[in-house]
Structure 1
Amino acid sequence: MRYLSRPARAVAALLVGALTVPVEALALAVAGLAVLVTLGRPAPRRTIAAALRRLTAAELSRAARWPATPPVPPHLARSVGYLLVRLGLGLLGGAVLTLFGAGLVTGARLVTGWLTGHPLDDITPSLPVVGYLTVAGLVLAFLAVQGMIAVAALELRWANWAVRPGRAALEHRIDELSVSRAEVVAAVDGERRRIERDLHDGVQQRLVALGMLLGRARRATDPQRSTDLLRAAHEESRQALVELREVAWRVYPSALDSAGLSAALESVAERAGLPVRLDHRLGARPPAGIEAACYFVVCEAVTNAAKHAAAHAATVRLTEAAGRIRIEVCDDGCGGADPAGPGLSGLARRLAAVDGRLSVTSPPGGPTLVTAEIPTPTAEPSCG
């Protein structure tokens, strides 16, 4: 049955497309008249444009049955162009289906007439006649099926054209990627400098103190003094290990790979220094790059709430809808967060690398709401 499902969907899509031709023609005619009547009035024209784009989205959804095409309504010019050409394709598909149906009905009437003894149009069922009509019927059926496949393929190509970005959009996208690439390089360099600073000011100083304590313990002649120095050296080594783990955690938490995003965020909440309520509603685990971006958004926002906003509590919510992951981090701190600051601007650059967007609402006095949206990857349609 699975081998028949795709042709059946194609036939159904063509049939529905042929039946919607009058609706589309009427909609285009009414829209054209309405545009002429409402010249100079932008509000009605916006309503007309929205209606045409919704009709285009509905047609794209129908075309998506064979195979998948994203039902994303394009801008107005492409919507009108798509619908105009779709009228011709709908009529062509309806004509092919009509011929195919007429052939099936004629063949069924011939066979029924021969079996009941009432041949259609006095066509006597002799061997040459049956052979000729069988071969002719199979050839016509083959041509009709090929016609349906061709019309469905044309509809697919035209639908892909409608949702494909234009030249201006592609150029804008290239500019965005060029800027984000430069920003990512700058963010990586800044992250390296921060790691070096953390190692120099923290772990390195601890190791220097550890070496000095061990040297003094080795030179000490009093056993009790040597024991005290070794105890202090042991404590210094323990603190150095703690700080080294903190630096490694800020670079990339191992729990993110081993246990997933939820476990990593629970660790962030435990180490935050303020009560953090997690509301994790993601279903399937996102790809590694998106998962890391989600983690660092939450980590940076919670750290800012604890260190700079003097917040008493924070709420972290992760949801997914319409192919996008939405992250909201809200705290009850003093507000005044600067989106252009090094931390939040670095987050914006990190999100831009995965086509995400960051917004910050932080009026003086609070509360602060950090919102990030990240698209999840989907399969792209094929034009061939």
Structure 2
Amino acid sequence: MRDMVRRVTRCAVGLIWGAAAAVVELLYTLLAGLLLLLVVAWPRGRRAVLRPVLAGARSLTELNRTRLRTWLRAHTSPAYEDTQALGYLACRWTLGVLGAVVMLSVAIGLGYGTSWLYLWLLVDDIRNTASIVYTSLGGLFLLFLAVQGILAVAELEGKLARRLLGPRHQDALERRIAELSASRAAVVDAVNDERRRIERDLHDGVQQRLVALGMLLGRALRSEDPARTDRLLRQAHGESRQALDDLREVAWRIYPTTLDEAGLRAALETVAERASVPVRVEYGLAGEPERAVGTVVYFVVCEAVTNAVKHATPTRIVVEVGSKEGALYVSVEDDGKGGANATGSGLFGLARRVAALDGRLEVRSPPGGPTLVTAELPCA
């Protein structure tokens, strides 16, 4: 319900701006039509007339693209011709007028729908109660239809922009194929990188511990001094415990069993408990996300927290997980010294993990901090 209210409000603001822009677009279209008639009558002045006309059309179209992207969440291709921009403006102003009519209907429906309230407050003796009830119900019904009209006109705005400015359906399919090919290759590279990291952790950590353990036990077997044997066995016991801890750490980094057994929230809280600095987890999801999405979110948080502790020397880290407009949103912010390298192996691997699910990862880490790692993933 809250997301729907936000969406309607955002679209309403976009339509209001579109209605105001429609006045300018209509005047500009009429002026451009008159100037183009001059071109027909005076062919030699074609270049002198067309250049400012097309430049103005592109400027107005860019303002509309910004409005569509900001308020209506409609994205169009920037690679369009100036003549396409002029044609778009010639058609777009009609939708601006339609949006103005819809917003006027919202105001009328809201006024009539709440008429009972201010009549009850301002009028002492209300005699025709039935007509007031009918008027209020009619106003609420008009308001309901107008709200549906807001969403419909917003959808038409996006379709018109994509139809006249692009991208074309064929271009969108080709871009999607290229994205899928790149993400598939990135997944293969990420798997290979993960295998190399696991091999390195086992070789440099667990294997070295086991070698030291074997050497200590061999020296203890060859020793004839009971005190020295006891000391070597104690050292071997300590190495075995350390090797077990290292092995658990490697297993935890490969895939945490808590994620399957207790869910994403419990896994993130475990990451916070294992960190050497205070980590606050703000979990705002009502349900459990899909396993693939939850796994990526976990590794984004785990890698971002690990990098912050290792390189940024922060005093606190805040992890926030929530949903926003049909997407799962996760952010990790620390108050460290900043300067994180977004192209480093760890963050680059995270970006490939996120891209494999059609998500987006962003890293903002100016020198001096703070560092903010955010990711958006599509989630039903």
Measured at CA, do residues 48 and 261 of structure 1 come closer, stay the same or move farther in structure 2, by a change above 3 Å?
Answer: closer
Verify the 8 A CA contact 1:317 1:328 in the aligned structure 2: yes
Structure 2 partner of 1:292: 295
- Distance across 2 between alignment mates of 1:290 and 1:224: 56
1:169 aligned to 2:172?
Answer: yes
Query: What are the equivalent positions in structure 2 for 1:190-205 lying under 5 Å apart?
Result: 190-205=193-208
Structure 1 partner of 2:112: none
Measured at CA, do residues 324 and 236 of structure 1 come closer, stay the same or move farther in structure 2, by a change above 3 Å?
Answer: same
Verify the 8 A CA contact 1:318 1:326 in the aligned structure 2: yes
Structure 2 partner of 1:367: 370
Query: What are the equivalent positions in structure 2 for 1:329-344 lying under 5 Å apart?
Result: 329-344=332-347
- Distance across 1 between alignment mates of 2:64 and 2:29: 8
1:210 aligned to 2:204?
Answer: no
Structure 2 partner of 1:346: 349
Q: Aligned partner of 2:339: which letter? A: G
- Distance across 2 between alignment mates of 1:337 and 1:233: 40
Q: Aligned partner of 1:315: which letter? A: V
Structure 2 partner of 1:130: none
- Distance across 2 between alignment mates of 1:216 and 1:340: 47
Q: Aligned partner of 1:222: which letter? A: D
Deviation of 1:30 (Å) = 11
Query: What are the equivalent positions in structure 2 for 1:16-35 lying under 5 Å apart?
Result: 35=29
Verify the 8 A CA contact 1:329 1:369 in the aligned structure 2: yes
Verify the 8 A CA contact 1:256 1:264 in the aligned structure 2: yes
1:280 aligned to 2:274?
Answer: no
Deviation of 1:265 (Å) = 0.8
Q: Aligned partner of 1:177: which letter? A: L
Name which of 302, 305, 310 aligns with 1:302: 305
Structure 2 partner of 1:321: 324
Verify the 8 A CA contact 1:31 1:48 in the aligned structure 2: no
Structure 1 partner of 2:186: 183
Q: Aligned partner of 1:168: which letter? A: D
Q: Aligned partner of 1:376: which letter? A: C
Structure 2 partner of 1:244: 247
Mind listing any 5+ residue stretches in structure 2 that lack a counterpart? 1-21, 33-52, 78-83, 93-158
Q: What is the TM-score normalised by the length of structure 1?
A: 0.60
Deviation of 1:223 (Å) = 2.9
* Aligned-residue CA RMSD (Å): 3.8
- Distance across 1 between alignment mates of 2:64 and 2:336: 46
Deviations 1:330-373 (A, max 9, x none): 11111111111111111101100011111111111111111111
- Distance across 1 between alignment mates of 2:68 and 2:241: 68
Q: Aligned partner of 1:371: which letter? A: T
Query: What are the equivalent positions in structure 2 for 1:85-104 lying under 5 Å apart?
Result: none
Structure 2 partner of 1:255: 258
- Distance across 1 between alignment mates of 2:195 and 2:29: 58
Mean Cα deviation higher: 229-238 or 365-374: 229-238
Q: Aligned partner of 1:239: which letter? A: Q
SS in 2 for 1:329: strand
- Distance across 1 between alignment mates of 2:61 and 2:266: 51
Deviations 1:24-43 (A, max 9, x none): xxxx9997776344654244
Q: Aligned partner of 1:183: which letter? A: A
Q: Aligned partner of 1:35: which letter? A: T
Deviation of 1:285 (Å) = 0.8
Q: Aligned partner of 1:297: which letter? A: V
Verify the 8 A CA contact 2:65 2:75 in the aligned structure 1: no
Mind listing any 5+ residue stretches in structure 1 that lack a counterpart? 1-27, 58-71, 85-158, 378-384
Verify the 8 A CA contact 2:354 2:377 in the aligned structure 1: yes
Deviation of 1:230 (Å) = 2.0
Structure ID, larger Rg: 1
Q: Aligned partner of 2:282: which letter? A: D
**% identity of equivalent residues:** 55
Deviations 1:187-220 (A, max 9, x none): 1111111111110111001111111122222222
Structure 2 partner of 1:219: 222
Verify the 8 A CA contact 1:360 1:370 in the aligned structure 2: yes
Deviations 1:231-277 (A, max 9, x none): 22111111100000001111111111111111111111111111111
Structure 2 partner of 1:111: none
Give the total of aligned pairs: 265
- Distance across 2 between alignment mates of 1:47 and 1:263: 45
Name which of 261, 266, 269 aligns with 1:266: 269
Deviations 1:153-179 (A, max 9, x none): xxxxxx9x9899711011111111111
Deviations 1:19-72 (A, max 9, x none): xxxxxxxxx999777634465424444566789999xx8xxxxxxxxxxxxxx8
Query: What are the equivalent positions in structure 2 for 1:112-191 lying under 5 Å apart?
Result: 166-191=169-194
